[in-house]
Structure 1
Amino acid sequence: MPDRNQSALDFLLTRRSRPAKTLTGPAPDRAALVPILTAAARSPDHGKLEPWRFIVLEQGAMARLAQLVGTRGAALKEQPEQIAKAQSAFSDSPLAVVVVSAPVASPKVPEIEQRYSAGAVCLALLNAALASGWGANWLSGWPSHDRQFLTEGLGLKGHETVAGIIHIGTETSAPPERPRPDVSAITTWVAI
């Protein structure tokens, strides 16, 4: 039997995202955030292409983006409650890290695998923040799919998209446990 890291396994078996609306300050400062980003950057990356990058949104940026959500939501004729929900994700959160999917031209690694890698970075970032004692949640929402919001608000290039926005802060209340998938119902064993 291989050596088992029981603490890590216990963490993964009990991990639970914290709803972004329950997060408040303080958020990790830059020194506390660097190890979390470093852990996330260790995600699988076929070809060592690094087809993703981080944008750390601190308080001032969060307020600016909340305003832009209002402007873009009105221009897109989004429902007022959807605009308000998306605005509050930015205005109420103390800090967020945008994981940008930035595929690289490669004859060996298809773009879809590079996008999967960016998704793996999101989960690793979420888990690293939780393991560090912070509350964290992976969100996206309609603004993260609006090209003008991405360009004007985040400075993304034409080939870049948002894989996820990880909100990080101090948890104000522990969420209740929720039902989990029945592993036996979603697993197929193939022996031959």
Structure 2
Amino acid sequence: MDALTLLTTRHSSPRLTLPAPTPQQLDVIFNAGARVPDHAGLTPWEFILAQDEGLNRLGEIFFEAAQARGEQGEALARARLLPTRAPVVITVVSRVSEHPKVPAMEQHLSAGCAVMAMQMAAQAQGLGGIWRTGSYATDPVVRRALKVDGEDQIVGFLYLGTPVIKVTPKRALDGTGFVKRL
């Protein structure tokens, strides 16, 4: 698939299964994430890989967060299983460095670009992925467990695997409809 087709047909795959990305595919995915715009070469991102037992550890973190919020019953049980919806989950954290020319927001955006690039690298290799955030991305228990503090942010959980179903691409939007001229 050529780059323009990849970008203009981008889609999420919400239902993912095995096989998981291979180590070689993951290398390509991480390398794509590290090639995004990065003003001053700050590399303001960290990729936390959860697969196999790591998915269960991430599930325990989500469970503890849900418990701390007072969730009960099915919602509490569901929290533990959320990471197991895919064979791989990559948590992308923006790690902010103090810099006179690169504000924190730009560093968060760079980490967000990394998520997009990694999802596109997965799709280009025949894999599926979905970028999720939700309440766990800002939850204090999750932040503490993943050592996210200060201005650092969890910008997304990138779920990766093999699509269970063929996703119908979203309706095509005419990007020119969002253009305002000065």
Please report the TM-score for the alignment, with normalisation by the length of structure 2.
Answer: 0.89
CA distance in structure 1 between the aligned counterparts of 2:121 and 2:179, rounded to whole angstroms: 27
Unpaired runs of 5+ residues, structure 1, are 1-5
3-state SS of paired residue (1:69): helix
Q: 1:70 offset after TM fit, Å?
A: 2.2
| Residue type of the alignment partner of 2:97 | V
Aligned length: 182
2:10 to 15, 26, 31: 15
Cα distance between partner residues in 2 of 1:42 and 1:15: 19
Q: 2:142 aligns with which of 146, 149, 154?
A: 149
Does structure 2 retain, via aligned residues, the 8 Å contact 1:86–1:143? Answer: no
From 161, 170, 179, the equivalent of 1:178 is: 170
* Fraction of identical pairs, as percent: 34
Q: What is the TM-score of this pair, normalised by structure 1?
A: 0.85
In the alignment, the residues of structure 2 paired with residue 33 and residue 116 of structure 1 have an alpha-carbon distance, to the nearest angstrom, of 22
Secondary structure (helix, strand or coil) at the match of 2:100 reads coil
- Residue 122 of structure 1 pairs with residue 115 of structure 2: yes
Structure 1 residue aligned with 2:91 = 98
**2:58 corresponding residue in structure 1:** 65
1:3 maps to: none
Cα distance in 1, alignment partners of residues 174 and 44 from structure 2? 33
Q: Runs in 1 of length 4+ with deviation above 6 angstroms? A: none
Find the structure with the greater CA-based Rg. 1
In 2: Cα distance, 1:159 partner to 1:24 partner = 34
Tell me the amino acid that sits aligned with residue 109 of structure 1. V
Aligned 8 A contact 1:86 1:141 in 2: no
Tell me which moved more, 26-35 or 93-102.
Answer: 26-35
Residue 131 (structure 2) aligned to one of 128, 138, 147 = 138
Superposed counterparts of 1:30-45, under 5 Å:
30-45=23-38
1:177 Cα shift? Answer: 2.9
Letter in 2 for 1:148: V
Amino acid of the residue matched to residue 36 of structure 2? S
Partner of 1:169: 161
CA apart distance, 1:168: 0.7
Helix, strand or coil: the match of 1:98? Answer: strand
Instruction: Report deviation, 1:158.
Output: 4.0
How far did 1:156 drift? 3.1
* Cα deviation, residue 172, structure 1: 1.1
CA–CA distance in structure 2, aligned partners of residues 112 and 49 of structure 1:
13
User: How far is the alpha carbon of 1:29 from its aligned partner?
Assistant: 2.8
1:81–1:186 CA distance, 2 compared to 1 (3 A): farther
Quick one: which amino acid aligns to residue 9 of structure 1? L
